[in-house]
Amino acid sequence: MPVFRLVPSSPSRLPSIARRAVVRRLGAVAGLAGLAACALVLPLSAAAQAQLAGGKPIRILVGAPAGGTTDTLARTIAQEMSQELGQPVVVENRPGAGGNIAADLVAKSAPDGSTLLMSFTSHTINATLYKKLPFDPIQDFTPITLVATVPSVLVATPKLPASNVPELIRLARAEPGKLNFAIGSVGSSLHMAGDMFKMMTGTYIVNIPYKGTAPALTDVLAGQCDLMFASTINVLPHVRAGKLKVLGVTSPAPLPQFPGAAPIGNTVKGFESSAWFGLFGPAGMPHEVTQALYQAARKGLEAPAVRKRLENDGAQPMGTPPEAFAAFVKQDVKRWAAVVRYSGASPE
């Protein structure tokens, strides 16, 4: 496992050019959803069915442990795709190196549609975070579909003397370096959301890295750390129990699961951050195979039971067409590059 060095951000690392370069919302996720809704529903061609069948199950590799959001989404979509394609679709967990182990295996697989990757936001973050990767995050993959996005929330220990984002910014500016962020995984979208927040607000909040989301969340619940960006799925029970308070949400609109919590973008103009989860194949997959896999995944995401389950967890089902997803991935690499450089995080 790589060892990460986390260079604390300070006010001196906040040039105005960096703030101006802060990401615009790339690919307009809502627009991509619209494209998905308008996509032609094409029948699976005989050629695609023959190539996909191949006499062996389709494998979806997941670069994260079992039980997490990526794994859950992969198993959900695998079951639906299996029904649509009429052949087995199985999930294999290959965690490690921020998802790079699974990604490398898929990049080096035969482009016949038998080996796929369920990846997440780290796929595009790692393009800048790692100085050298054994694959190219763009050139070595065939994007199939953006499966879902999951916004996060900025939560705090109840004893923090701030109840919303404007109050937090005033507090952080008044006492630079006194507050801290619990970081569950260095280089994750949640880590980058915190550094994006600091970059855009000109605040200095210390990062405290942990070996996973669970111990980071435990310390925020115990009051050992002040703040944390976390998945809606992970913190909802604690918020409802009054053990955490929500200062804001990273989505452009309020989330019904967190009544009264305003979007951070209402105060910090242009701020938005959602984890995304997408399905890829190796580079060079035939168009017919890509379309067959896309249509199977899209139909699965349109199933009412699937949509309801994901939306109850705060996830937004997508089903973005391959071409739009490919454009999204390219933009997302650029989106996170400035934030990764600002964060100072790097694997060694």
Question: CA nearest 156: which of 179, 134, 190, 175?
Answer: 179
pLDDT of residue 309: 86
Question: CA nearest 78: which of 95, 62, 102?
Answer: 62
> 29-149+275-341: which CATH architecture?
3-Layer(aba) Sandwich (3.40)
Amino acid at 90: V
Is the pLDDT at 4 greater than 60, yes or no?
A: no
Pick the more confident residue, 46 or 320: 320
The pLDDT tens digits of the residues spanning 321-344 come to 999 999 999 999 998 898 888 888
Owner of token pair 């494998």: 59
- Let me know: does 216 contact 205? Beta carbons within 8 Å: no
Helix axes 287-302, 69-85, angle to 10 degrees: 110
Is the pLDDT at 30 greater than 70, yes or no?
A: no
The pLDDT tens digits of the residues spanning 76-95 come to 999 999 999 989 999 999 98
In whole angstroms, what is the distance from residue 237 CA to residue 312 CA? Answer: 13
In whole angstroms, what is the distance from residue 158 CA to residue 162 CA? Answer: 9
CA–chain centroid gap for 90, Å, is 22
Question: CA nearest 203: which of 229, 171, 173?
Answer: 173
CATH code of the domain made up of 4-21+151-266? 3.40.190.10
Going by pLDDT thresholds of 50, 70 and 90, the confidence category of residue 184 is confident
In whole angstroms, what is the distance from residue 240 CA to residue 238 CA? Answer: 5
Domain positions in the chain: 4-21+151-266, 29-149+275-341
Question: CA nearest 338: which of 198, 170, 204?
Answer: 198
85 CB-near residues (< 8 Å, 6+ apart): 44, 49, 52, 58, 292, 296
Is the pLDDT at 44 greater than 80, yes or no?
A: no
Number of Cβ within a 10 Å radius of residue 257: 20
Q: What are the beta bridge partners of residue 281?
A: 142
pLDDT of residue 227: 97
Mean confidence (pLDDT) of the chain: 84
Asked whether the domain spanning 29-149+275-341 has the same topology as the one spanning 4-21+151-266, the reply is yes
pLDDT of residue 31: 46
Owner of token pair 């008044």: 174
The pLDDT tens digits of the residues spanning 266-304 come to 999 999 988 899 999 999 999 999 999 999 999 999 999
Q: Counting beta carbons within 10 angstroms of the beta carbon of residue 172, is it exposed (0 to 12), middle (13 to 18) or buried (19 or more)?
A: buried
The pLDDT tens digits of the residues spanning 238-272 come to 999 999 999 999 999 999 889 999 999 999 999 99
The pLDDT tens digits of the residues spanning 189-232 come to 889 999 999 999 999 999 998 877 888 999 999 999 999 999 88
Question: CA nearest 58: which of 35, 39, 74?
Answer: 74
CA–chain centroid gap for 87, Å, is 29
Q: Which helix (H) or strand (E) holds 276?
A: strand 274-282
pLDDT more than 90, % of the chain? 61
pLDDT of residue 49: 54
In whole angstroms, what is the distance from residue 319 CA to residue 329 CA? Answer: 14
pLDDT of residue 348: 52
Going by pLDDT thresholds of 50, 70 and 90, the confidence category of residue 55 is low
In whole angstroms, what is the distance from residue 292 CA to residue 298 CA? Answer: 10
CA–chain centroid gap for 185, Å, is 12
- Let me know: does 183 contact 197? Beta carbons within 8 Å: no
Read off the tokens for 278. 């997408």
Tally the residues of the chain. 348
Degrees (nearest 5) of the Cα angle 26, 297, 48?
115
Going by pLDDT thresholds of 50, 70 and 90, the confidence category of residue 121 is very high
In whole angstroms, what is the distance from residue 71 CA to residue 317 CA? Answer: 15
Is the pLDDT at 3 greater than 70, yes or no?
A: no
Q: Which helix (H) or strand (E) holds 148?
A: strand 141-156
In whole angstroms, what is the distance from residue 117 CA to residue 303 CA? Answer: 22
Is the pLDDT at 19 greater than 50, yes or no?
A: no
**pTM, 2 dp:** 0.75
Pick the more confident residue, 339 or 156: 156
- Let me know: does 13 contact 342? Beta carbons within 8 Å: yes
